[in-house]
Structure 1
């Protein structure tokens, strides 16, 4: 069987615990080229993977490598340029979330994907959990009726990844754009991807370089420089066409008992939550709660299996560039609403 040749642009933390093991887990894939600006990390990774094609410039990689597809797992401020370089070189591209630094960059990426016909998939891995997939199927078959309200959040008591994550010039934002994007995207996807209308948002930077002992998150041990100029908490109320609404919250630092993630969905026939997946409805005028069995899924494995299916079989991705653009528009609006202290309307 001919292998799908994979190039990795960025071999930092998310590549090592997400993308690399996922490609290694799929017999169809072979990592043949890697690129990173950190030469020490590049050399170590090349030795670990026994990869001969090594680059410090993704433009050179796109010009010389015969890889079929690439994962872009760089700092957020490189997503646009690396993705566009790959698309123009005829590579299928899986770009990590968030799609870009802002909606304008995301729209440029989508434009090139359409012009070249090259696949552009966004790394919305939380869509690929078995619990999320099963809930999506219940919603689509009408079991919950019309979904009119969703609540979701990812909250850490102390969990700033530091490094480039806490440097706005490289990340574009903080907790909202890092972990809040997962809750936002999965919620919007479960709702059926309604058109966003407006946002009221709040973002705070109250904790900075805290010294609290306890939770430890590290973006990359080789890069511990942080400006701490990003949000460490954000909340938003997002209004969609059809009188639908989403309440979203995300934090790297908040004075709560313990960190948590939650997802709640409300329909006019039934409701549901994740972690674990439960359904709430009425049967013969009786209130009924149903716990649905689900399988444990490694999200990046499932995501990259789907990406490889799209590359190999020409399947349509469930996480296209168009979705990434909409999510970036919502994120931009939340930050703008927080800055202006006004409701922001989305075009």
Structure 2
């Protein structure tokens, strides 16, 4: 039998993850919960056989094997833990927790329940990044000694809770930088991290109490590599977005870059001296691929996967950037 999945939150992100999971044919969408009638109507279009319920507890009371969580960040950890304690596998939007401690608590709950835990770290699943990770891990770039990470967004979130540090856990770092940190550590094989140092700004000034950062620069050492990170909201970047993850080694370099300011189109290139070789080009329908991968993994096994332990490693780096 296919795993039976419930969906908590069916806004734009939640609905697209639902679509991707249903499209795999690996799971059955049987229930969803969203207070918005408009969002619920769109969810019903994607999964017409799914029942709409009016609360998270009612969703957990359904005959389901897993829950997909797409709610505000402040709710992720407690909702994930509640679902895991109820014996459900979980796929959660990032960040899994606002802090390393929250993230650790969720992973501990998954391990105790022996249930699969996934996080929507979507950039891992771009074809461009898969090419680059393969090069790094095979030794194709030699010893990687430097990683440069960038995510500048000319826009910013449109919901007020993003700007409340109690609800969001931070600003552009926890929103965008979480993807960059994950890409670096995942590609490098999650080596030990040390020497985290950062500067966080709001409107060009150091943060005041109650503010979240809209620009951040950070650096840290991951294994043998020096990692530099920059991310922002509403930067005067001359385009919608500037996104890059570049890896430089003793035997060559490689970079993922967005195309013409796009949030969705990426290339991968390898560098050898002054020569460049293209590894991947758009189009690539990667946006909800992480959800599809989790759905297919559910169909194979609902048991805990030790790769979830890595979520804590990335969250601890973010703690270092925030100085907590």
CA 1:122–1:294: 2 relative to 1, 3 Å: same
Matched, 1:158 2:140: no
For 1:239, the equivalent position in structure 2 comes to 221
Q: CA deviation at 1:59?
A: 2.9
Moved more, 184-193 or 293-302: 293-302
Cα deviations across residues 24-80 of structure 1 (Å, max 9, x unaligned)? Answer: 3222222211123x3535643454343553334323321x11112211111111111
Matches within 5 A, 1:59-78: 59-62=57-60, 64-78=61-75
Count residues in correspondence.
Answer: 310
Cα deviations across residues 235-286 of structure 1 (Å, max 9, x unaligned)? Answer: 10112333x221111111223323311111011111111132111126xxxx
Q: For structure 1, list consecutive stretches of 5 or more residues without a partner in the other structure.
A: 209-227, 338-347
Matched, 1:14 2:1: no
CA 1:318–1:295: 2 relative to 1, 3 Å: farther
For 1:251, the equivalent position in structure 2 comes to 232
Q: CA deviation at 1:119?
A: 0.7
Q: For structure 2, list consecutive stretches of 5 or more residues without a partner in the other structure.
A: 258-266
What is the SS of the residue equivalent to 1:235? Answer: strand
What is the SS of the residue equivalent to 1:90? Answer: coil
Q: CA deviation at 1:131?
A: 0.8
For 2:261, the equivalent position in structure 1 comes to none
Q: Is the 8 A contact 1:136 1:190 kept in 2?
A: yes
Q: TM-score, normalised by structure 2?
A: 0.87
For 1:343, the equivalent position in structure 2 comes to none
Q: Is the 8 A contact 1:130 1:296 kept in 2?
A: no
Q: Distance in 2 between matches of 1:160 and 1:118?
A: 32
Cα deviations across residues 4-43 of structure 1 (Å, max 9, x unaligned)? Answer: 3211112223113x3122123222222211123x353564
For 2:294, the equivalent position in structure 1 comes to 307
Q: Distance in 2 between matches of 1:318 and 1:148?
A: 30
CA 1:69–1:93: 2 relative to 1, 3 Å: same
Q: Distance in 1 between matches of 2:282 and 2:39?
A: 35
Q: CA RMSD in A?
A: 2.6
For 1:297, the equivalent position in structure 2 comes to 284
Q: Is the 8 A contact 1:33 1:52 kept in 2?
A: yes
For 1:111, the equivalent position in structure 2 comes to 108
Q: Distance in 1 between matches of 2:78 and 2:290?
A: 22
Q: TM-score, normalised by structure 1?
A: 0.81
Cα deviations across residues 210-245 of structure 1 (Å, max 9, x unaligned)? Answer: xxxxxxxxxxxxxxxxxx932111110112333x22
Matched, 1:278 2:263: no
